[in-house]
């Protein structure tokens, strides 16, 4: 699910998360109300670095946290991370490796590089704004906009808008924007065994059905491409629980057969999913109570308190990543100032010359 998913219609269907002002790093020092009573999104949203531990996922995609997350480097040969100021480039090492692999495979398919959107916060958990899921380092948003042929500046990464692939005011892709390369990118992502499902707009699912729906050999990966609200500026990759994390709760599996190009997709093109549910007369929708630490798996208290690595670069998942060294560098979190006061620096990594034409 994504930041862009919050259309007015969806906001009425699902109460939008309301971002609270940053309450500062002092939250973690134990000042004020007991940790367990504070909104969990403030505790997790203001923790700048992961725990310096082995990677462990606790809980569910929309209710949990992650220990030992690693960062997607801001630049790679075939990717650039966006919205760096959000500090949401963190995930389980398996997911970060998968996104990097997708960037390489996609380049061979004709997609010139990924613009990587939100993954998770350094220790996962609920976010101050924008997502219900993305809490355990196993969800990643990839823009449906091609990576440009140069490195973007910090400001461009903060301010550039992704491009919707829909024809304005409709539920259908715009053939002037949507291309066969978009479809191949989704095919590639869905083909990985460890990808549990992808979320895309129903109009995109329809386009995938038009391209690949007639061949039963495609069903195995096509069924993983799930229509949902939003997701026409980016698509969302959800990975299966990793073997190292018995405390990770899997999602109900996608249907065992078919490709999803059926009446369940047709439903999205009726008025029903887009019509607000009527309220009983005289009642007002009650805001959902804020999640606190007590609502998350117990292990998340320990994750929040655990020492941090000595630097962000030690926890960045590049070719030189050394988990043993990262863990050995651990320094206590309590009372510490934020370890990253400024945005991560951009690399001077060149973009490969031999890139597919857009």
What is the contact surface with Zn ion in residues (CB under 5 A)?
Answer: 1-2, 141, 236
Structure tokens given for 101: 């692999």
d(CA 86, CA 82): 9
Q: Whose Cβ is closer to Zn ion: residue 35's or residue 162's?
A: 162
d(CA 34, CA 39): 11
* Vertex 225 angle, CA 253 and 184, to 5°: 140
CB of 5 to Zn ion, least distance (A): 8
Q: Whose Cβ is closer to Zn ion: residue 194's or residue 355's?
A: 194
Task: Tell me the C-alpha to C-alpha distance, in Å, between residue 130 and each of 39, 41, 143, 251, 353.
Answer: 15, 11, 15, 21, 36
Q: Whose Cβ is closer to Zn ion: residue 236's or residue 308's?
A: 236
Q: How many CA atoms lie within 13 A of 196 on its CB side?
A: 16
What is Dmax (Cα atoms) for the chain? 64
Q: Whose Cβ is closer to Zn ion: residue 106's or residue 119's?
A: 119
Q: Whose Cβ is closer to Zn ion: residue 141's or residue 196's?
A: 141
> How many residues make up the chain in this entry?
358
CB of 183 to Zn ion, least distance (A): 20
CB of 144 to Zn ion, least distance (A): 12
How many other C-beta atoms are found inside a 10 Å radius of the C-beta of residue 354? Answer: 5
CB of 234 to Zn ion, least distance (A): 7
Q: Whose Cβ is closer to Zn ion: residue 2's or residue 112's?
A: 2
CB of 45 to Zn ion, least distance (A): 16
What is the phi/psi pair of residue 63, to 5°? -165, 85
Structure tokens given for 223: 């069924």
Pairing of strands 114-116, 79-81: parallel
CB of 302 to Zn ion, least distance (A): 26
Q: Whose Cβ is closer to Zn ion: residue 106's or residue 333's?
A: 106
Taking CB positions, which residue lies at the least distance from Zn ion?
Answer: 236
d(CA 168, CA 213): 25
Q: Whose Cβ is closer to Zn ion: residue 75's or residue 141's?
A: 141
CB of 83 to Zn ion, least distance (A): 12
Instruction: Name all contacts of 339-346 with Cβ < 8 Å and 24+ positions apart.
Output: 339/48, 339/49, 339/308, 339/311, 339/312, 340/48, 340/49, 340/87, 340/312, 343/84, 343/85, 343/154, 344/74, 344/84, 344/312, 345/74, 346/74, 346/75, 346/151, 346/153, 346/154
Q: Whose Cβ is closer to Zn ion: residue 45's or residue 309's?
A: 45
CB of 69 to Zn ion, least distance (A): 16
CB of 134 to Zn ion, least distance (A): 6
């Amino acid at each position: 699910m994504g930041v862009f998913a919050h259309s007015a219609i969806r906001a009425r269907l699902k109460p939008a998360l309301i971002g609270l002002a940053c309450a500062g790093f002092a939250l973690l020092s134990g000042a004020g109300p007991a940790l367990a009573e504070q909104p969990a999104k403030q505790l997790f949203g203001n923790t700048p670095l992961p725990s310096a531990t082995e990677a462990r996922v606790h809980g569910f995609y929309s209710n949990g946290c992650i220990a030992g997350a690693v960062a997607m480097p801001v630049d790679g040969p075939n990717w650039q991370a966006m919205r760096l100021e959000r500090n949401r480039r963190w995930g389980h090492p398996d997911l970060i490796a998968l996104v990097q692999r997708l960037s390489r495979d996609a380049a061979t398919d004709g997609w010139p590089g990924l613009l990587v959107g939100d993954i998770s916060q350094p220790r996962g958990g609920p976010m101050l704004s924008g997502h219900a899921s993305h809490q355990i380092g196993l969800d990643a948003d990839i823009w449906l906009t091609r990576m440009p042929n140069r490195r973007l500046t910090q400001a461009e990464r903060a301010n550039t808008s992704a491009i919707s692939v829909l024809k304005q005011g409709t539920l259908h892709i715009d053939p002037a924007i949507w291309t066969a390369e978009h479809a191949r990118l989704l095919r590639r992502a869905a083909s990985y065994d460890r990808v549990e499902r992808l979320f895309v707009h129903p109009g995109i699912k329809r386009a995938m059905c038009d391209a690949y729906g007639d061949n039963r050999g495609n069903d195995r990966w096509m069924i993983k491409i799930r229509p949902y609200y939003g997701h026409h500026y980016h698509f969302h990759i959800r990975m299966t629980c990793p073997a190292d994390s018995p405390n990770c709760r899997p999602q109900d599996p996608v249907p065992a057969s078919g490709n999803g190009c059926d009446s369940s997709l047709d439903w999205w093109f009726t008025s029903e999913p887009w019509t607000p549910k009527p309220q009983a007369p005289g009642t007002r929708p009650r805001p959902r109570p804020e999640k606190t630490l007590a609502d998350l798996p117990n292990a998340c208290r320990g994750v929040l308190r655990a020492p941090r690595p000595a630097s962000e670069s030690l926890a960045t998942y590049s070719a030189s990543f050394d988990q043993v060294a990262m863990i050995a560098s651990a320094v206590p979190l309590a009372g510490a100032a934020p370890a990253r006061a400024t945005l991560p620096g951009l690399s001077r990594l060149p973009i490969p010359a031999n890139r597919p034409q857009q």
